[in-house]
Chains A and B, each alone.
Chain A
């Protein structure tokens, strides 16, 4: 350092200052852009349930946002809470370490929050601490990954993995319109996960009803890179395909790249999860991608709404039942060019 010429040092400092300023500005613009994306997606119900009521303090914890869907879970939950002036959301987002996630929930219990919305990294591992919260009189809403005890949550919000497979399979059957001998391929997610097995089972069951079956099946790992790898191999193995279902739109970016590289366009591709990217492709109708099956990334946002209702002692206004249900399984609709505009606003950016 001492040997550097003073003027050069000053020049270096100026460059450094500029670089820092650019970085800071860049980070800021990025942040505000994200906020705009989710704001449209948040809906309020058309009853007086949304009228400001008693103050509700809600603690929220979810795994690390390491892919688009999970990132959208936190973002839409936070955006949903902002819509209500009677909700005070405490966010302890983002960890794949159960030890840390447990301590986050313990902190919520110490803080005596009214409700906790929890998307556990591992449902079974978070059960004891969730039960502790329930015993302390806190309303716990379990999202997406189920606890293994019914005492650990007041209400559970789940996506429908088996239903996703059924929706995708039914779309194929309807589109095939009774034709026989068509080739169906499937690119699954992480094969050892129960959710992947359920999706595949639903797909196979639905295909069976119209006499089709999965001819080629490979598994990827929900990442872009693994999707590209799995798809390249699959396309090599199957010279002609009629339908391809890909379980996950985050890995689908890689799958589409592989399809383009191979110059293949003889088949119809169906996506999964429902990213905004994929929906824009469906809308543009300029690729093999014609449909996707939604796995809602607004589950935690629904958890926030339910937590607020439960704490304020309100009921779900469109049900005759007075109490909020114990479990909600969200539907897995098929998005096509016809209805894409309905789903695009609530889709997640991957």
Chain B
């Protein structure tokens, strides 16, 4: 005891800031989410037994989570950076349509299916960049700028696809993304990779630290030498690119691209990010929390489906969970100040 007190690394003045941060970001907030997920799983096992606890069902949950999960990871960055993006669903639709036009598919036949993946991600990133430029340089409120993108991207998708469903004929694309190496679907692996990359980017790089600074106090960030406007554009472009990845996933799941893909994804993504513990006002965000947020919603959906409960009741449950999460979040925030 007395020895540890004299240990400089555990000395009293050094410990509180570090312990406090670990307590609020790591444990206190995520603990609630872990408990919520465990409760949901217990409910699943009790109500559906082996049907819930099987490997097949676990993969069904993860495949469902993958598409919205990738968008939510991108959304975590934008919200942490003090913004919001309502256009993600529309961007997913536009990217899926663009990547499945006869032109793109002809290109894919010549140079491989990478062309389709590439065009989906580029279309997403370009839409994101437009959002970012409007917000950062055009000084349009994020809510309005991305609302405009929501309308126009889906409209453009409808025009390009002529409101028809475009079917993917490139077998290489379908084979690659439909594969299940070691029993794990490729899109789940991509989701894992995006989550890891997002965690690293937000918590271990300068880019991540700048994101927190820009979201917490843009003026202070500017004075500290961060190019706030440019960084904001990067954040929206990043989210746009993750929408492109989500578009590729939905394309592989449905073998189609249409303007109706990604309907209302903005709400699911924002909900997952917020119940994960990322502050809507910016400055604080957690990838792990977002991951749990996505898993909680998709597990909830799965448990409801397994038990024959209606989608309407599920929507009510979702709403209740969001409110409880935000109330908890406020209490944690109040306790901290």
Contacts and interface: CB of A to CB of B under 8 A. Distances in A.
Q: Do A and B bind each other?
A: yes
Contact of B256 (A96, A104, A111, A124): A124
A92 to B, nearest CB: 5
A325 B78 CA distance: 54
Given A64-B311, A93-B310, A111-B51, A124 B165 contact: yes
Given A92-B305, A95-B311, A107-B306, A122 B63 contact: no
B162 A192 contact: yes
B76 interface: no
Contact of A128 (B254, B301, B306): B254
Nearest to B314: A94
Interface in A85-131: 90-100, 102-104, 106-107, 109-111, 121-129
Given A103-B60, A110-B54, A128-B254, A91 B310 contact: yes
A204 to B, nearest CB: 21
Interface in A130-152: 148
Interface in B155-173: 158, 162-163, 165, 167
A125 B255 CA distance: 6
Interface in B74-133: none
A193 interface: yes
Interface residues of B, number: 34
Given A107-B302, A110-B51, A97 B263 contact: yes
Contact of B60 (A91, A94, A110, A126): A110
B254 A125 contact: yes
B318 interface: no
A107 B256 contact: no
Contacts of B260: 96, 98, 121-122
A122 B253 contact: no
Interface residues of A, number: 32
Nearest to B161: A192
B325 to A, nearest CB: 21
Contacts of A148: 167
A93 B311 contact: yes
B254 A98 contact: yes
Interface in B240-258: 250, 253-256, 258
A106 B168 CA distance: 21
Nearest to B268: A97
Contact of A106 (B60, B158, B165): B60
B302 A99 contact: no
Nearest to A106: B60
Interface in A174-214: 192-193
A102 B263 contact: no
Interface string B42-65: 000000000100101100110110
> Which of B57, B60, B61, B261: most chain A CB closer than 10 A?
B60
A345 B60 CA distance: 40
Given A91-B310, A122-B165, A124-B165, A99 B67 contact: yes
B191 to A, nearest CB: 13
Nearest to B64: A103
Contact of B312 (A90, A94, A128): A94
Contacts of B334: none
Nearest to A102: B253
Given A90-B308, A93-B310, A124-B256, A98 B250 contact: yes
A119 B258 CA distance: 18
A98 B311 contact: no
Nearest to A91: B308
A192 B163 CA distance: 7
Interface of A: 64, 90-100, 102-104, 106-107, 109-111, 121-129, 148, 192-193
Given A92-B308, A97-B263, 4 more contacts: A99-B253, A106-B63, A122-B165, A193-B163
Interface of B: 51, 54, 56-57, 60-61, 63-64, 67-68, 158, 162-163, 165, 167, 178, 250, 253-256, 258, 260-261, 263-264, 301-302, 305-306, 308, 310-312
